[in-house]
Amino acid sequence: MSKRMQQRYQKKLLQFFNQNPGKAFKARTLSREFRIPNSDYRLFRQFLKTLAEEGLISRHKGNQYGKFVKPVLVRGKLHVKAQGYGFLIREDGGEDIFVSQKNMGSAMHGDTVLVQVWAHQTGKLPEGKVHDILVRRRECLVGIFMESHRYNYVIPDDFKITRDIYVSKPDSLTALPGQKVVVEITDWGDAGRMPEGRILEILGYPDDPGVDVLSVVRGFDLRDRFPESVESEAVSGPEHIPDDALTGRLDYRDRLVFTIDPEDARDFDDAVSLIRLRNGDYELGVHIADVSHFVPVGSAVDREAFSRGTSVYLVDRVIPMLPERLSNDLCSLKPGKDRLAFSVLMEMTPDAELVDYTFRESVIHSRFRLTYAQAQDMIETEAESGSGSQGADRPGSETDPFLVQTLKEMQALSIKLLSAWRKNGSIDFDAPEPRVILNEQGKPVALGIRPRLSSHRLIEAFMLLANRTVAEHISRLRQATGMKLPFIYRVHQKPSQEKLDKFAGFARAFGYLFDPGKKITPKKFQQFLDGITDARHKTVIDEVAVRTMMKASYTTANTGHFGLAFKDYTHFTSPIRRYPDLVVHRLLKSYSKPDPKPLSLIPTPSQIAAHATEREIAAQEAERESIRAKQVDFMAGHLGMEFEGIVSGVTSFGFFVEIPEFLVEGLVAARDLEDDYYLFDERQWQLRGERTHKIFRLGDSVKVQVSRVHRETRQIDFVLVRESGTASASRSRRGPGRRKKRRA
């Protein structure tokens, strides 16, 4: 088309669209309207695209065109599914936006993007197209290096990264096909062109020792070393606590204070005490490591701690938030050492009712370092017998009867606390956690379930109480002063109506009526779960109920904690391993002065809350993947073996089975069910045989054989041996890796 013709058609098009506002037309329809010869159609279609790019007309879904309308742009994070499509999780909390694979451009999972929203039909999610990529989630990826006769490429480990990375031969280092590598993205490509990258590090073959967890570390961009400036600052402090640091502190060194932690714990950030007052009440002390005393605002250590957000507990290592000098030494509440603490002292009746409280900077001297198992043994031991668990890290060699009695009284208080909270609607999702036992070479030698003791619940109850008391104090202070004192809360939103409706349909498939009414409350949710008596059904429904819940997060807006049924809640008790707790300490100290004033923080509390939430999610995903890597390694030694399992998930491409004794999950692919063609019934959460009408649904007991193990993708394949006659009563737990295979 000549320039003159373009100008003429441009004028006609604009007039036509002005006469048809709110309508969109395909290029072929417009070509007929303006009688464009077939020989010029390709040029006309390109002309329309050019006008749209120049902002003279609008391009709509399905390559339709209409009157120019200023695009609606929404900011959020792109969440990509393994099948290739994705959703924009909006920053403003609005409805998710569907983004097809072809409309993502070069955006990848986790990127912060602007999406142009198209008009959508009522009852369906809005759809859109990535307009701009604002922040890349990552610059490097981990994957398997491959060679073809034409080029080299890397297949990302993360199935949500749906495109391979092209690597030129000069940028391949000495990588060999099948090795795990770290690749830096140098060109993100576009919808029709592969991203390009260069190899930064060769990790080794997937089955080489240590490569499995190292791949997780690199894949989640976890920094396993501190910058030299941070280490230098951490070791430049005093070897011991100077005397002037004790000035004005509550001296609690003559009290019975002790810690209860996992056997392999190295940093101790909370200790407890309990004394009987003259009026018959108790003074419960929760003493938290005073990290804020050693980490000044804006210091190199502080900036690094903010960046990390949290310590990450992988299956074979810990990647700490703070350098070891602080996390495992000076801040850690070690037994037999004077340590600085920030204490919450709570007066409680014997019925566990909170009467009064105070916050004090303190100095403590932990008398005992107990493991949960040792504490449990003492609780179950008769106090007057003088026997009990030996070997606690403490001065002396025999069990202290006063310690045993104190533990028993603590146990009684914690039971009453938890019972009262449960009556108020606190939801008790006490799901089992997998346990992996490694040998000295890092190879898994056994899998199991972490023991869940009442001593665990004792400490959890006291930490919950301290966190709640701190948050309630801030609410009272705000009300008393009339000041908007910035604070960081730990909140948990109620489930969305969409999730509740889906859960109700799921429960109905099992014959249970779940009616949340006009307003869902945690108490209604808990009462429904308590009413399920069938052990097999309860196992599965509890699991889906967990997935129905929203994720807890950090925020400066106090919207309450739905799962705990607490109006006010924060995180105060773990400043060694969680950055929000460290900030809460700083804020609480500032607001405890006679003239409380807002504390100026950079980053701001809202920025800290948002970043900490992101880092927590990444840490949780990394922890799950590290466990999954070792589980897969363990099951590789059990190929051909048969296990009893429970159907823990059903999809169109098969069903997932969990082995309860290991908490290991694998896929029985529909293609391997050779006796029939199975159809997926989404409403009933089941696969049904087209000819035999055989059904596989959540909670069914089956016997499976381990058929394949994929170390590089951390997946396990099962084949069905038979359906079991009885259902297992063990709790089901969906693990990571539940994804449809992207490649054959």
pLDDT at 327 over 90: yes
Q: What is the pLDDT of residue 724?
A: 59
- Using the predicted structure, report yes or no on whether residue 132 has a pLDDT greater than 90: no
- pTM for this predicted structure: 0.82
Domain spans of the chain? 3-67, 72-135, 140-205, 245-416+450-454, 457-621, 637-723
Angstrom CA distances, 310 to 287, 304, 611, 615, 616, stand at 20, 10, 10, 7, 6
Thinking of the domain 72-135, which architecture would CATH place it in?
Beta Barrel (2.40)
Strand 250-251 with 354-365, pairing: parallel
CB within 8 A of 291, min separation 6: which ones? 269, 322, 326, 331, 575, 576, 582, 585
Predicted local distance difference test score (pLDDT) of residue 331: 95
State residue 192's pLDDT score.
74
637-723 CATH, one of 2.40.50.140, 2.30.110.10, 3.20.20.140, 3.40.50.150: 2.40.50.140
Of the pLDDT bands very low, low, confident and very high (cuts 50, 70, 90), residue 159 is: confident
Per-residue pLDDT of 239-263, as tens digits, reads: 788 888 899 999 999 999 999 999 9
pLDDT at 119: 60
Q: Is the pLDDT of residue 438 over 60?
A: yes
Give Cβ neighbours of residue 519 (< 8 Å, ≥ 6 apart).
none
3-67 and 140-205 have identical folds: no
Structure tokens at 667: 């896929």
The mean predicted confidence, pLDDT, of the chain is: 87
Q: Tell whether the model's pLDDT for residue 740 goes beyond 70.
A: no
Bridge partners for 24 per DSSP: 66
186 CB contacts (<8 Å, ≥6 apart)? 196, 197, 198
Q: Which residues share a beta bridge with 116?
A: 73, 129
- pLDDT recorded at residue 536: 65
What is the separation, in whole angstroms, between the first and last Cα of the chain?
47
Residue 736 confidence (pLDDT) above 80: no
Q: Are 634 and 694 in contact (CB under 8 A)?
A: no
Res 636 pLDDT > 60: yes
Among residues 65, 63, 45, 43, which one has the least CA distance to residue 55? 65
Q: State the helix-helix crossing angle for 300-308 and 605-636, rounded to 10 degrees.
A: 60
Q: pLDDT tens for residues 490-503?
A: 999 988 887 888 88
CB environment 546-562: b (16+ within 10 A), e (fewer): eebbeebbbbbebebbb
Q: SS3 string of 67-84? A: ECCCCEEEEEEEEECCCC
Amino acid 534: pLDDT:
75
> How far is Cα 415 from Cα 420, in angstroms, rounded to an integer?
9
Question: Which pLDDT value is given to residue 680?
Answer: 92
In the beta sheet, which residues pair with residue 366? 335
Residue 303, CA distances (Å) to 579, 601, 625 in order:
10, 12, 27
Distance CA 574, CA 594 (A): 26
Class for domain 140-205, per CATH? mainly beta
pLDDT band at 18 (very low <50, low <70, confident <90, very high): confident
For residue 553, what are the β-bridge partners? 491
Q: Which CATH class is domain 3-67?
A: mainly alpha
Rounded CA separation 573/570 (Å):
9
pLDDT at 120: 60
What's the pLDDT tens digit per position in 46-94? 888 888 877 788 777 777 888 887 778 899 989 888 777 889 888 887 8
Annotate 264-281 with b (16+ C-beta within 10 A) or e (fewer): ebebbbbbbbbeeeeeeb
Distance CA 632, CA 628 (A): 6
d(CA 80, CA 163): 12
124 Cβ contact partners less than 8 Å away, ≥ 6 residues apart? none
- 233-240 contact pairs (CB < 8 A, 24+): 233/299, 233/300, 233/301, 234/301, 234/322, 234/323, 234/325, 234/326, 235/323, 235/325, 237/294, 237/325, 237/330
